[in-house]
Structure 1
């Protein structure tokens, strides 16, 4: 029996994706070669890359709207740097909602003035700031849509006349948004799309070419666009698994379908957290993430008992991030509803014992 996988990343993957990926490792396309052995310049893999890029745009509703999709190296952490390198002339606006946006702000300071328009650090990043004003004359506005560590999620985005950049690493493809509001979206694959090793970047081409500095080739979006994500050897296996996951999502009914499932899962768990007197949620209710539910025991004396119970129930990855503690249940697209029910059952059993 496979464990109920609530790990925050690398993420749970669909069973059929794992099956197809494992088959490709042994024999890809019935060509008697492993996917790990074929040339990244061969037509079979070029087709994989093209399919993955097209599927990303299709699922986001950004086909034929001036956007291109890239699969790059370096994780979202490299995108903190690349965004500023390619787009920041003098100053940019950043919304600080946690660890990852703080890191993005730090990288941007190397290239210009990174203005923190608002922050929720005062309350341990347990909420999403609202009602802030956009500074005049900024090159772009950067935000993080979902915060895995603290369990918060932006439910709305500001109206702005400047380019909006969003780190969607942990909730990409999980809910319906007007993605055309964003000029650049980036997401590490390992949170909701595939294994670690590649990063999806969806970019509106007309925002590029406006900075005065010279940009090294490996960090230049225009170079990667011209080479269609094949400027250097791409991360073949992560791209392939991401393509399989996007195919799986499309077959299910796309983002519209999976959002309903994700809302069911989140509602089931948050209802129990609020009902059960032994638990309390970490994030403000109005800002709770549907991907990452963070919560604590009211009485830490129950920790050893609870930890033993959920592990015996074949549950994995429930410990909170080391900087916050407590518990974190990551409910990415591929996590089935019955896994959330298994966790709720353990929480209710703890209450009965208590």
Structure 2
């Protein structure tokens, strides 16, 4: 079978090696006579998968024992509510940096829980960039500072992170595992799996243990303490998604770890941005150069008609998922870890040929 040229923003491409290994074990996992999604989440076979996924994530991201790694459901969108419910008190203010639609949605949910403030924003400028670190102003009673590390819709990404004297919370749904991280810069990281971690259905939260409180007023399933005290096994977790996540983490290790992944991601992004920059305005990149994402390359053409022609011809050529988000239009190539660099170079060649012919 010829694999699709998949540039979907999420659910996104998974490594072919991961899919092949899952297929091989699909009907008979570890000689159990059952598929992984048929196993009890209390069985020793599944428990080994569960714990290995946590161990692998700790190793790849150099996560110390100061942090808890937990698996949840509900996507990053549920975390928009869980974070203020667990971290925000009546006496404090949640601070948010607005860099795109998802940070805006996170703020709206926090507004339902307690007091909030905007510490910095590029909304008025159309979300073309990430704010300068010096422009971030937190309130004196700040409970935490929330950022979205990569903005899938607008194609911007943080390349340096805030250094503030309050907990830093980061939505890393679309760029976790794409580069090495200094975990000391963060206090809570959360990510829906469906970009770089695995399939949709599981959400990873990495939280500093001192932030986990046993708040008896919270609903059980919205309390981080429930998950940390039960190894994320208080109820039935998304076992198939966690199994595939564990295989993705194994693949990242076999690929050479995050340094190797970052190097390849840089090469892939350069191939597309070079075509945009050399097109003399034929392709118009959305993000300012110092804020460009290595995960989502967003651009427009001179007219809606030309953009539509580009997308139609790209679809005919076998490219999938190049339409921009419905809220902004245009074009977007999502080039997460599992998108082969050969596919990215094919896209760059297509873009060049389309430009020369039009």
TM-score by length of 1: 0.96
* Aligned-residue offset at 1:156: 1.0
Residues 1:140 and 1:291: Cα distance change in structure 2 (over 3 Å): same
User: Is the 1:293–1:330 Cα contact (8 Å) retained in structure 2?
Assistant: yes
* Aligned-residue offset at 1:111: 2.1
- 2:13 is aligned to 12
User: Is the 2:150–2:156 Cα contact (8 Å) retained in structure 1?
Assistant: yes
- 2:75 is aligned to 75
- 2:210 is aligned to 206
* Aligned-residue offset at 1:304: 4.0
- 1:218 and 2:221 matched: yes
- 2:128 is aligned to 126
- 1:238 and 2:241 matched: yes
- 2:192 is aligned to 188
- 1:139 is aligned to 143
User: Is the 2:187–2:207 Cα contact (8 Å) retained in structure 1?
Assistant: yes
User: Is the 1:126–1:284 Cα contact (8 Å) retained in structure 2?
Assistant: yes
- 2:327 is aligned to 323
Structure 1 residues 202-251: Cα deviation after superposition (integer angstroms, max 9, x where no partner): 1110122287x711110111110010010100001111100100010011
- 1:341 and 2:341 matched: no
Equivalents in 1 of 2:127, 2:22: separation in Å? Answer: 37
- 2:93 is aligned to 91
- Tell me how large the CA RMSD over aligned residues is: 1.3
Residues 1:209 and 1:304: Cα distance change in structure 2 (over 3 Å): closer
Equivalents in 1 of 2:192, 2:56: separation in Å? Answer: 16
* Aligned-residue offset at 1:23: 2.8
User: Is the 1:95–1:116 Cα contact (8 Å) retained in structure 2?
Assistant: yes
- 1:37 is aligned to 38
Q: Please list every run of at least 4 consecutive aligned residues from structure 1 whose deviation after the TM superposition is greater than 6 angstroms.
A: none
User: Is the 1:120–1:129 Cα contact (8 Å) retained in structure 2?
Assistant: yes
User: Is the 1:309–1:346 Cα contact (8 Å) retained in structure 2?
Assistant: no
Structure 1 residues 272-297: Cα deviation after superposition (integer angstroms, max 9, x where no partner): 01111321101111101000000011
* Aligned-residue offset at 1:264: 0.4
- 1:294 is aligned to 298
User: Is the 2:155–2:296 Cα contact (8 Å) retained in structure 1?
Assistant: yes
- 2:113 is aligned to 111
Equivalents in 2 of 1:57, 1:36: separation in Å? Answer: 24
Q: Secondary structure at the residue paired with 1:191?
A: coil
Equivalents in 1 of 2:136, 2:332: separation in Å? Answer: 29
Q: Secondary structure at the residue paired with 2:124?
A: helix
* Aligned-residue offset at 1:312: 2.6
- 2:26 is aligned to 25
User: Is the 2:157–2:291 Cα contact (8 Å) retained in structure 1?
Assistant: yes
- 1:264 and 2:279 matched: no
Q: Secondary structure at the residue paired with 1:33?
A: coil
- Structure 2 unaligned segments of length 5 or more: list them: none
Q: 2:250 aligns with which of 247, 255, 261?
A: 247
User: Is the 2:81–2:113 Cα contact (8 Å) retained in structure 1?
Assistant: no
TM-score by length of 2: 0.95
Equivalents in 2 of 1:42, 1:25: separation in Å? Answer: 17
Q: Superposition pairs for residues 159-174 of structure 1, below 5 Å?
A: 159-174=163-178
Structure 1 residues 293-335: Cα deviation after superposition (integer angstroms, max 9, x where no partner): 0001123332343223212321110000001110000010011
Equivalents in 2 of 1:276, 1:347: separation in Å? Answer: 9
Residues 1:149 and 1:34: Cα distance change in structure 2 (over 3 Å): same
* Aligned-residue offset at 1:110: 2.1
- 1:153 and 2:157 matched: yes
- Structure 1 unaligned segments of length 5 or more: list them: none
Residues 1:3 and 1:124: Cα distance change in structure 2 (over 3 Å): same
Equivalents in 1 of 2:323, 2:18: separation in Å? Answer: 26
